[in-house]
Structure 1
């Protein structure tokens, strides 16, 4: 087996307790060159802009460690549901999403990842209409930030478990050029996309290209899964310990469409565990035979 010349763009979801300034250094310490963060406590509705000192130190260390902001991703809070049919939840979600976009802009982070949301039984059309309305509002207010729609599993009225739904959101938005996709391997596998087989990846990429275009995929959430293909459970596992496994991840990383994107881990544990998972991914990638 021969090692390929291209270095992986890889990182993990990083802690922000005590401030954003810690993130660039800790990213390097765990073997990463990319990262994902929450813009605030993800379990709360309230969020505020970071203080100037924190921003200055964050931006300084981004330069110090020679990190590329194109590989940074913010992940929206857990409470946001812009597909909600409940006006109070929808309005709070839009308000919080707008603040999250401002936080991204302050930190120089171009990409904000969201789950499209759940229609809570009111139907796909209702949900998509609410999502589009919300995205149009927040993208009008903050024009420097792009929204990444993440694929999800088919449960609880979720929207975004296939790419036809993603297309319908994108084509109705005022700013389609500022909407991309994050592909989550755990969510995809649990939703029935077999990313452990070449034919499964071929079928997935054909669907993505047909519905939204391959160029829309900007990030990968690289997660193993505790569950079986098509289970619609969504439970992440550490690299190589789940149903994707080392061999399945090797197949996935053999595809240049995915392996060339920023790979962000959301696996269980904290920085030490993420360091181990990043090392495993690099080992798997280095074991792939280079094309002739």
Structure 2
């Protein structure tokens, strides 16, 4: 099983710290997620130390990912924000390539009150612009999101529309908290069947390659999007046992975005391993 957590800087320490907390995969920000301006060529020594750490700890670049900046909104009706989002995405792809990380994960965006169709069109066209001259060794992942704030991509049918419109072979990330918030009840066998059927009918399992593993502070379908530590929220230990009873989700990397730092993530990883053991 591939499991790890979203890891904070310093970049050079992340491979060693990942192994220390019991992980073998991780997610990072490639720069401050609150800043538009990024110097792609900076921090060469940190980057070199990171790549050396990946080799030393035998962590594979195709099992980890970068999470793109929270500022990015590829559905924005504001031309300035949209242009800045597209340019920052291009830099994110460059940084992923420099770090030898295969996957870049992004939230598709919000139309901020515009129609779903208009927002989907804008995201699709934005991806075309972004990918035209992008590094060929990086794969773009669209993440399923909570429906709050007019977000687009809170079900797999929307994500499939975006991918089809872009014309690119896009891949995807499932987030257990976001999905729960959007009404996917992974705590029940019927809910898991509905989830897997929708995946099969839209993007296909072979295109779902990463999972954010988060419990939820709020009940099913309330559109709040608040992550909780594993087993301590409304999904709970029993809910995750049901989730992991689906063999597919034991085959793709699981990335914790739960509250806390390395110590809490180490504790949560132990809990997840016990849940997986009891669900198989």
Superposition TM-score, scaled by structure 2 size: 0.97
2:88 matches 1:103: no
State the 4+ residue runs in structure 1 displaced beyond 3 angstroms.
Answer: none
**How far apart are the structure 2 equivalents of 1:234 and 1:152?**
9
Please name the residue that 2:77 is paired with.
Answer: 85
Residues 123, 157 of structure 1: 8 Å contact kept: no
Equivalent position SS for 1:156 = helix
The separation in 1 between residues aligned to 2:172 and 2:80, in whole angstroms, is 27
Q: Select which of 266, 272, 281 maps to 2:263.
A: 272
* 1:207 corresponding residue in structure 2: 198
For the residues of structure 2 that align with 1:114 and 1:288, how far apart are their CA atoms? 30
Counterparts of 1:51-200 in structure 2, within 5 Å, are 51-142=43-134, 143-176=136-169, 179-200=170-191
Q: Distance in 1 between matches of 2:229 and 2:265?
A: 9
In structure 2, distance between residues paired with 1:66 and 1:39: 20
* TM, length-normalised to structure 1: 0.93
What is the alpha-carbon distance in structure 2 between the residues aligned to residue 166 and residue 60 of structure 1?
Answer: 36
Question: Which blocks of at least 5 consecutive residues in structure 1 are unaligned?
Answer: 1-7
Aligned residues: 278
SS at match of 1:136: helix
CA positional deviation for 1:144: 2.1
* C-alpha separation in 1, matches of 2:279 and 2:202: 30
1:247 aligns with 2:238: yes
Q: Distance in 2 between matches of 1:70 and 1:158?
A: 28
- Alpha carbons 1:83, 1:90 under 8 Å: kept: yes
- Contact 1:85-1:126 at 8 Å conserved across structures: no
Is this contact kept in 2: 1:40–1:48, CA < 8 A? no
Displacement, 1:288? 2.5
- Once the two structures are superposed, what CA deviation does each residue of 1:33-80 show, in whole Å capped at 9, x if it has no partner? 000001111111112224222222111111110111111110011110
**Residue number in structure 1 paired with 2:39:** 48
State the secondary structure of the residue aligned to 1:200: helix
Superposition pairs of residues 17-36 of structure 1, within 5 angstroms = 18=10, 20-36=11-27
Distance 1:58 1:43 in 2: 22
Please list the CA deviations of residues 79-116 of structure 1 after superposition, one character each: whole Å capped at 9, or x if unmatched: 10011011000001011111111100000011100011
Residue 36 of structure 1: SS of its match in structure 2? strand
* Equivalent position SS for 1:67: coil
Aligned residue number for residue 5 of structure 1 = none
Report the secondary structure of 1:32's partner residue.
coil
**CA distance, structure 2, for counterparts of residue 110 and residue 140 of structure 1:** 17
| Cα separation, 2, equivalents of 1:205 and 1:116 | 21
Structure-1 separation of matches of 2:61 and 2:190: 33
Distance in 1 of aligned mates of 2:198 and 2:246: 16
Match of 1:14 in 2: 7
Gaps of 5+ in 2: none
Partner of 1:39: 30
